Amino acid sequence: MNLTARVTSRASEVSHATSTIRTVRIAVLGLSSAALAGLLVVPTSLPAAADPPVTVAEAKAVIEQLRTDAAAIDQQYAGVKEQIKEGRAQLRIKQGDVSVQTDKVAQMRLQVGQVALAQFQNRSLDTAAQLIVTPDTEGFLSQISTVQKVSENQNSVLQDYQQAEANLAGLRHTAETDLAALTEKQKELQSLSDASDKKLAEARKVLAKLSAVQRRKLDAADRRETAQANAEGRAASISRGTTRGSGKGVRALAFAKAQLGEPYVRNAAGPGSWDCSGLTMKAWGSVGVSLPHSAGQQYNYGRSVAKADLQLGDLVFFYSGISHVGIYAGNGRVIHAPHPGASVEYIKISYMPYEGARRPG
């Protein structure tokens, strides 16, 4: 019987022990969002009274997957926010260039005006005529070459002005294009926020199918799991063979350890709440290494590290497409900010699809 059938019918064979709950959790991590979206759909032809109750273990598995999906969307959200941040910085530079070029064009316009005035004043008297009427013929002839140079300079001024105006038009167009792109990115940001909220709403619907007693059991199971994982992680962190790492990596890990138990919040980077890349960004930022607030973008920083060569503080990435990151804590574990409804915790690397690791700094 597949997971969909188990969720939509009573599953008496599922144990409520902690180890079994963890197994269910791991089993669904690889399922697609589309598959999970239909897990609790009941055919409309059946009366509501015929709906079989959902077990705590089944609800826990589905809720955790929906929240994990929401966290993955949150990392897309974080990535777009980083793009907007970079885009705004570039736009400010380009707007500054437009301002400088506008002033330059205004100054050149004055020069062009003076050239035009000079040409207007001399337009009715060509060189031959001026030679006839001038009282200082010898002096006038000696200045012809100078006059010709002035004429050439006047033409150059006009050409420079035309080029400057063209440059200004190009800068303005580029700035306007960038502004339009930022507007679209803002729309994308809202769309991602809505998508994440929708996943969490679906999780709340699943939770609502449980009785009050079942919800208390679910909360107790979550607390027990987290406490056990953190206890094991702390014990592992002081055991033999976990001290290998650079000074910066060890100190970055110490920062992450200090945040254990603090809640996950979308796009949060402390103090007091975190998403996964916000935690790793600030952990490495505490030792002077700058990282972007995005798991996908953090994967481009530092150098690649083989799984067998992981050291304390290394960044460990999960899921195809890089939608999650944690900080290596030794003995096959990371500290991470998991997803909405959870807090910063230890977790075994093997509980999530491993994608790679990087060593910043």
Asked whether residue 32 is domain-assigned, the answer is no
- Output the six-digit token pair for 3: 């997971």
Pair (328, 259) in one structural domain: yes
CATH code at 279? 3.90.1720.10
Asked whether residue 174 is domain-assigned, the answer is yes
Does the pLDDT of residue 197 top 50, yes or no? Answer: yes
What does residue 115 show for φ and ψ, rounded to 5 degrees? -65, -45
CA 269 to CA 271: how far, in whole Å?
7
Range of the domain at 78: 72-198
Among 99-108, 269-278, 321-330, the minimum mean pLDDT is found in 99-108
Count: domains in the chain: 2
pLDDT value at residue 105: 84
Pair (83, 158) in one structural domain: yes
Asked whether residue 212 is domain-assigned, the answer is no
Q: Are 357 and 340 in contact (CB under 8 A)?
A: no
Nearest by Cα to 352 from 316, 303, 299, 306: 316
Pair (182, 256) in one structural domain: no
Pair (238, 118) in one structural domain: no
pLDDT digits (tens, 9 = 90+) for 275-324: 999 999 999 999 999 999 999 999 999 999 999 999 999 999 999 999 99
Does the pLDDT of residue 123 top 80, yes or no? Answer: no
Q: Are 288 and 260 in contact (CB under 8 A)?
A: no
Asked whether residue 192 is domain-assigned, the answer is yes
Pair (243, 193) in one structural domain: no
Nearest by Cα to 353 from 71, 76, 27, 36: 27
